[in-house]
Amino acid sequence: MALLLIAAVAGATGADAATTEADDALGEQEDCFGRTCAYGGTLPDPAVYVGGGFTTGGGGTRVIPTGSSVFADCNWDRLLAGDELVIARPDIASINITGSIFDVDHWVIFCPQLAGFDAYTIFPVGDPPPVPVIQAMIADAYAQTPVVAFNPITSPDGDEDLTLITQMTTFLWVDEAAWATRAVATISLPLPGAAFSVSTTAVPEMAYWSGGDEPVECDGDDMHPYVFGIGGDDAQPSDCTMVYTISSALQENSVDLEVVWDVSYSCSIPVCGGPLPDITTISTRPVVVGEIQAVEN
């Protein structure tokens, strides 16, 4: 009989997992299929990412830096049926070795000093991982979802040569191809034959524009590029507009854009999936606002 030895430090007694849709979908897994489980995973709070460096015109975007894998420093091993798992607990002098023998092969995940303590999880080969591991994978995929910050585009452009004009309509939009993108991230267990993965998908849902006299809320159907030569402002396909009331001679002006992304996740087993907190990306661009002097007779 072979031995698989894992050292664990004080405090590796368990971590409460967040209550999520995954819990209900996967059912109760007390003590991680009856084996030792000290691996916790909590779902993230809503994320806000700030982009910068945008210029007038163009359809550029800025890809947001994302997180690294929560499993990057973990060790993985396969415990064969009939082998003994030995966990050394140096913090318990009187009982520093415990042993377990299983009748089927098991995967062992050992993550040194994760969240301040060593953590290990054991689950049968062929089964999905325990809920806390799935939750950690969901959070990991969420952090790596490659959302982008959109370049706020206006007509007029809002530069020195083509300033925005006070009290006149400013049309607002983002690059349509960029808006149509889907940001997807997939996290897989790096185990041979353990075909389990979690994927997140983020879709831009609503754009909130500010900087003018009043904030404006637009969805993808509202925002379209300005089309010249079709009969002026009234003939434009876009319903997303804003008005500036103070010229740049009196204050610095900008066009500010917050995009809320709808985020969901799915797993390679059909009972796992659901919504996640929204992601918000923020873009800002300086604009020049001029005014036209008029004389009333």
Strand 97-101 relative to strand 84-88, pairing: antiparallel
SS3 (DSSP) at 124: strand
**Does some domain include residue 229?**
yes
Is residue 98, in this structure, part of any structural domain at all? Answer: yes
* Predicted model pTM: 0.77
User: In the 3-class helix/strand/coil scheme, how is 244-279 assigned residue by residue?
Assistant: CCCCCCCCCEEEEEEEEEEEEEEECCCCCEEEEEEE
- 283 domain residue, yes or no: yes
DSSP state of 151: P
* Distance of alpha carbon 32 from the chain centroid: 27
Residue 143 phi, psi (nearest 5): -65, -25
**In this structure, are residues 191 and 107 in contact, taking their beta carbons and an 8 Å threshold?**
yes
Is 8 a domain residue?
yes
Whole-angstrom CA distances from 72 to 58, 69, 87, 107, 149 are: 38, 5, 22, 17, 27
pLDDT tens string, the chain, 297 residues long: the values are 443 444 332 222 222 222 233 344 334 433 333 333 444 445 667 888 888 788 887 667 887 766 666 666 777 788 888 877 665 545 444 333 345 667 888 887 776 655 555 566 778 888 888 777 788 788 888 988 999 999 999 999 999 999 999 999 999 999 999 999 899 999 887 776 666 889 999 999 999 999 999 999 999 999 999 988 887 788 888 899 999 999 999 999 999 999 999 999 999 877 688 999 999 999 999 999 998 865 455
- The phi, psi pair for 71, rounded to 5°, reads -95, 10
pLDDT at 69: 67
Structural domain that includes position 23: 3-290
Which pLDDT does position 206 carry in this prediction?
A: 97
Confirm whether 295 is domain-assigned. no
Identify the three-state secondary structure at position 134: helix
Number of structural domains found in the chain:
1
39, 14 in Cβ contact below 8 A? Answer: no
Q: What pLDDT score does 278 carry?
A: 93
